[in-house]
Each structure stands twice: as C-alpha cells, then as structure tokens.
Amino acid sequence: MNHKLRKDKRCQNCGHYVDKRFCPNCGQENVETRQPFHYLFTHFVADFIHYDGQFWKTIQYLLFYPARLTQEYIAGKRKSYVQPVQLYIFISFLVFFIPAILPGFDEKPDVSIEKESKEIHKSIAEELNIPENQAGIYMYGLKNVHSVQQLDSIQQALPKEEKLLKFQYVIYKKVLKYKNLDEIKDKIGESLIHNMPKAIFLYMPIFAFWLWVFHNKKKWLYFDHGIYTLHYFSFLLLTILLYIVVNWLLSLFHWEIPGLITFAMFCWFIFYFFRSHSQFYRQKKAISRWTCINLFIINTIGIIIFLVLYVLFISFISV
C-alpha cells in the first residue's frame, strides 16, 4: 500500500536521516502521517492480509509437518512465521476465548452427575432415618454435616488421631460451600478448561528441562528445547481447540464426536511427539525411540500430576 513520502527527511520516530522510504535506524516508514479516513480500513486490510499469510503458513507447518516449524526457526528463517511465544499466547487466548463465546457450550447438563448426587443424598437420608432434603454432606467418615460451623465443632471434638488432615478439611469446607456434587464437579470441570493453558504454560519449562537432560548438552542449548516445547504445546492446544469447535458444531445437530475419533486424536498426539522429536533431533532411530518413550512416560505422569494439583489448588484453595 503506497503513501506519499514526507518532504522532511528526518524520521519522526528517532530523528535519523531517511534517504529512502524506510528509516535505516528504526525501520519506520517515512510517509505522511495524516491520512484520509478510509486509510484506517485499507491499512487494516493490508495488515490482516500480511499477517494472514504468515499465520496460515505457520499453522500449516504446525499441524501437518512435525518439527518443520522448529527447524525453520532454529535455522534463522523467522520472518515468514509467527514467533513461537506469540503463537502460543495467541492459541492459548483462543482456547480460553472461543469456548466462552460459543452459545450453549456450557449448557448441557450432566445427567449422570446429577443422578449420582441425588443417590448419595438419598442413601445418607435413609441411613440416618431423616428426610432426604435434610441430608447434609458425607465425606471422610463424617455424616450429615450441613455447615462450616458444624464441621469446626466436629473437628475440635474429635481425638487428635481422628481429626481431618488439613487438605481434607479445606476440601470439606469447599464441598459445604457448593452443597452438592453437581456444583463441585462443574466447578472443577470449568476450572480445568479455563486453567489448562496456564497450567500447561507453567509446565513447559519442566518439559524443556527433561529434553535438556536427555540430549547432548554441547549440541543443544536449553533455548533450542524451549522453542521445540513452545511449538509442540501450541500444536496440542490448537488440536484441542479444533476438537472443541467440531464437537460444538456437531452438538447443534444433537450429534457427538465418536469415541474412536477422540482416541485417534490422542494417538495423533503421541505420533506427532515421536515424529517431531525424530525430525528435529536427528538421532539414530533406536536411540530416538528409546528417548521418546522415556520422555513420554515422564512427562505424561508429570503433566497429569501438575495439572490436577494446579486445578485443585485453583478450585479449592484460591477460590
């Protein structure tokens, strides 16, 4: 998009002399700054088309060419692609934002949870011989607890060896706050969806650390492992986002994604990791597979524990 050049050869941004169109010092275009109103729209379209080409090429490589994007970045070919950190932040934002705006995404009731909650209340009521609507919470051996004050009284009255552990006490208080399993499980599920990108982001340095442990320290810097990690986790989040959107679209017609496709997606996650690792680190086949198996086991266990602890912390302690 061409604009009239300024007669003044001093850059408005840094004051450096501008011989041609762009300032050799800061890169700013030396054009007239006051433009017609339609410039706002044409400038937006031009920027979008430029970003669009860069973005879609990045997404294409990310989804269908394991490790290609990382190889290009490490090789110094960076202008044609979205930067790794920007890519991850953008995809994380979409994972958080899109489910929140999809109409009806959170409105599907979980009949099994509701049934389970009612059955527990019914069993407590029958055992204590009281009306079902008067049954309180039954956890950790304590029956028919209705309030935090009642819980505190019971906790103080119990012998030291029978008192609830600290984490049990905190969880019990939160259960009393939400009253039933429906609200508790909904809260945990909602927290899991909204906090997954944060938890994964916090785990990424650990993921990169294990890559550093299992590879040649002289050949590979921690920075290299960090770039690989950003791209792999961006791929995971983007795939999950696509799964969420497709599942929502099918739900409009009262359909669901078949379990086989869900299973295939998780198999693709595993294959992608093995394939991208092999392509990027270029180890011998047997060594690469052995390394991947160890890394996969360690990180699968690690991320599950980390995610569960993080979500429980957010759901029961921070809230």
pLDDT tens, residue order, the chain (319 aa)? 556 677 778 887 787 788 878 888 787 787 766 666 566 666 655 555 555 568 888 999 999 999 999 999 999 888 888 889 989 988 888 887 887 787 766 554 444 444 444 555 555 445 445 444 444 565 565 655 656 666 677 666 777 666 666 666 666 666 666 555 555 566 666 666 666 667 778 899 999 999 999 999 989 999 999 999 999 999 999 998 898 888 888 888 878 778 888 888 889 999 999 999 999 999 999 999 999 999 999 999 998 888 778 776 765 555 4
Residue 105's pLDDT is what?
Answer: 60
Question: Which tokens go with 105?
Answer: 């995404």
Please indicate, yes or no, whether the overall pTM of this predicted structure exceeds 0.75: no
Residue 111's pLDDT is what?
Answer: 45
Residue 200's pLDDT is what?
Answer: 79
- Which H or E run contains 137? strand 137-139
Task: Give me the helices (H) in 23-83, please.
Answer: 39-64, 68-74
Longest dimension (CA), the chain: 92
Query: Any idea what DSSP says for residue 6?
Result: P
DSSP bridge pairs for 22: 29
Q: How far apart are CA 319 and CA 306, in angstroms?
A: 18
pLDDT tens digits for 13-37? 787 788 878 888 787 787 766 666 5
- Which H or E run contains 143? strand 142-145
C-alpha distances out from residue 44 to 22, 28, 87, 209, Å: 20, 17, 20, 41
Residue 162's pLDDT is what?
Answer: 63
Residue 227's pLDDT is what?
Answer: 95
Q: How far apart are CA 150 and CA 144, in angstroms?
A: 10
Question: Which tokens go with 287?
Answer: 């060594």
Q: What is the CA radius of gyration of the chain?
A: 27
Q: How far apart are CA 171 and CA 183, in angstroms?
A: 14
Residue 140's pLDDT is what?
Answer: 60
Residue 139's pLDDT is what?
Answer: 54
